[in-house]
Amino acid sequence: MGINLSGRWRRLLFDSAFTIGAVALASLVHFALGEEFTGRAPFLVSMLAVLISAARGGLLQGIFATILSLILEIAVWGDAQWFVPEFDPYHFIEIVFFVVEGVIISLLAEFYLNGRLALRHSKTRFQVLFDAMPVGAMIHYESKIVAANKPFAEMFGYQQQELIGAKPVSVVAPESLEEVTQRTKTHSGESYRISGLRRNGTTFPVEVIAKDIDYQGLPMRVTVMRDLTDHLIARQRLEQMNELLESRVAVRTVELNETVADLRSALDNVQALSGLLPICGSCKKIRDDDGYWQQVEDYISAHSGAEFSHSLCPDCLGKLRDEISDRQRRIDDGRDI
């Protein structure tokens, strides 16, 4: 049955094994050189092992290497009396210096490792935030790209590592090179539009805005680019819809004007018929505005949309029949010849 160790304990085990190996190597060097290897030299070799161990594992491994080296040196080459200053003050002072130096080196190594770890975490956080930007961005220094986020690389069809060290103008179409160069020289911070150049050679519209920054202690320039392809397509569709809407509004406006004109004409006719009409009491003709007398039917038809169909009412029909019958009798009697 295997032993399942967490990542922290596994690393501690590996670091401890490395420390033991470094201290053992220092002791083998001392053993190989023999008793002639005396004075501060053995402690310096052991201190080198402490330094290597602390540089890998920090404070804990540095102190572990210090104690382990001291134990091996005294067990193989020394005497327990070295720990008693009254019997051997020289070696006692050497031991004290060795321990102090080991602790100092271990502390410095711990600070170094913590700083390096913090720097690594800072770079990781920066890269995560850099890649999370919704637009493409690159940082360039002396005409070379030193950083590019994932959206920028995908926009132009590259891998991120492929852009590192490349020239910023490598993603600019030839027709836009002059404008980009001029704005870079003048350190312009205003947004402008250019044609971008993809890896496959195709071009597309891009909005660019750049700004000078201080990055890693060096004056650099960050450039943000946004693909305008979808924006321009949407804008073109909107313009087409506006044109279609305007044409339909124009047609409807003409139709509306015609309808209004018809209504106004009808209203004028209604108003004309609603006034005082001079009519003949005998023939029933109506006098128009020009002084001419017209039949009622003609006048009303001219001033409205009404049309007439002639017929006889019952009273007039009866009178007409009586007149016809009377006339027929006269003809029969010979009086109306």
Put simply, whether the predicted model's pTM sits higher than 0.75 gets the answer no
The pLDDT, as a whole number, for residue 76 is 67
Looking at residue 119, its pLDDT comes to 66
Identify any residues that bridge with 140 across adjacent strands, giving them in sequence order. 145, 221
Enumerate the H helices of the chain as residue ranges.
7-33, 41-57, 59-77, 89-131, 150-156, 160-163, 177-185, 229-273, 296-303, 314-333
Query: Could you tell me whether strands 293-294 and 286-287 are parallel, antiparallel, or unpaired per DSSP bridges?
Result: antiparallel
What pLDDT sits at residue 30? 66
Per the document, the length of the chain is 337
Q: For the domain 134-227, what is the CATH superfamily, name and number? A: PAS domain (3.30.450.20)
Domain residue ranges of the chain, discontinuous segments joined by + = 8-128, 134-227, 309-337
Q: Name the packing angle between helices 41-57 and 89-131 (round to 10°).
A: 20
Tell me what pLDDT residue 91 has.
64
pLDDT single digits (tens) 122-180: 677 777 777 888 889 998 888 899 889 999 999 999 999 999 999 999 999 999 999 99
Q: Which residues of the chain have pLDDT under 50?
A: 1-2, 37, 337
Three-state DSSP class for residue 217: coil
Q: Write down the pLDDT at residue 87.
A: 66
DSSP state of 154: H
pLDDT at position 41, please? 64
pLDDT for res 138: 92
d(CA 71, CA 80): 10
102: phi then psi, degrees, rounded to nearest 5: -65, -45
Buried/exposed 118-140: b ≥16 CB within 10 Å, e otherwise: eeeeeeeeeeeebeeeeebbbbb
